[in-house]
Amino acid sequence: MPDVKLAVRNDVLGKRRALSTESRKQKSQAIVGSLIELSLFKDAMTIATYLPLTSEVDLSRLLRLEHRSKCFVAPRTLSNFELSFHRVTPSDMLEMGFGGARQPTEVADLVPPSAIDLFLVPLAACDRQGNRLGFGKGYYDRALADAPGFKLGIGFHCQLLDHVPSDSYDVPMNGFLSEEGLIQF
């Protein structure tokens, strides 16, 4: 259902872009603040985060706050729309990947998805059943297909919808965290 997904994706991303830079910054800080208080975060040793594109929730403060106590990894985009996860610290070199997102370099330590306790998953939209709409390439659907870790969608409240179209290969989220707090599915 590419057309239905495309329409919903464009609509929500339009709302996200309409938030001011200052509002996105404040909401992102609130999200990081509540994330680090969650037991599912405290209990996780290895955490997959992401390096934000322009209007996405910016979790970069998380890495600066918590990198001494936990192992953080971030995705690299591969050919065939696959992802590999590599260790990141605040001082690591980054390079440009798909769509202009920064990513760890090839030489950064590779961590298999099976070793990741918590995935912080960027998204275009999420509904109240945990269905996730990504950015249209299926990167996270492939990467999370067999991953046992907790999948926490991260977004602004305006990205939470009553219903998101989904297909059999879409990997559902176990929770959604926004500036309005956590929902678990």
Q: Rounded to the nearest 10 degrees, how much is the dihedral formed by the CA atoms of 20, 8, 150, 55?
A: -20
Pick between residue 66 and residue 141 the one whose CB is nearest to ligand ADP: 141
Altogether, the residues listed in the chain come to a count of 185
User: Applying CB under 6 A, does 16 fall inside the site for ligand ADP?
Assistant: no
Site stretch for Mg ion (CB under 5 A), options 40-48, 72-80, 138-146, 175-183: 138-146
Residues 6+ apart with CB under 8 A from 23: none
C-alpha 48/C-alpha 51 separation (Å) is 10
CB of 138 to Mg ion, least distance (A): 5
Pick between residue 11 and residue 167 the one whose CB is nearest to ligand ADP: 167
Q: Are 100 and 76 in contact (CB under 8 A)?
A: no
CB of 167 to Mg ion, least distance (A): 7
The one among 97, 102, 142, 172 contacting ligand ADP by CB under 6 A: 142
User: Applying CB under 5 A, does 170 fall inside the site for Mg ion?
Assistant: yes
Look-up: residue for tokens 């001494």? 68
CB burial of residue 112 (10 Å; 0-12, 13-18, 19+): exposed
Pick between residue 134 and residue 153 the one whose CB is nearest to ligand ADP: 134
Q: Are 66 and 60 in contact (CB under 8 A)?
A: no
Pick between residue 97 and residue 138 the one whose CB is nearest to ligand ADP: 138
Residues 6+ apart with CB under 8 A from 91: none
Q: Name the residue with the smallest CB distance to Mg ion.
A: 170
User: Applying CB under 6 A, does 92 fall inside the site for ligand ADP?
Assistant: no
The one among 51, 71, 101, 133 contacting ligand ADP by CB under 6 A: 133
Among Mg ion, ligand ADP, none, residue 17 binds (CB under 5-8 Å by kind)? none
Binding residues for ligand ADP (CB under 6 A): 5, 133-138, 141-142, 145, 167, 169-170
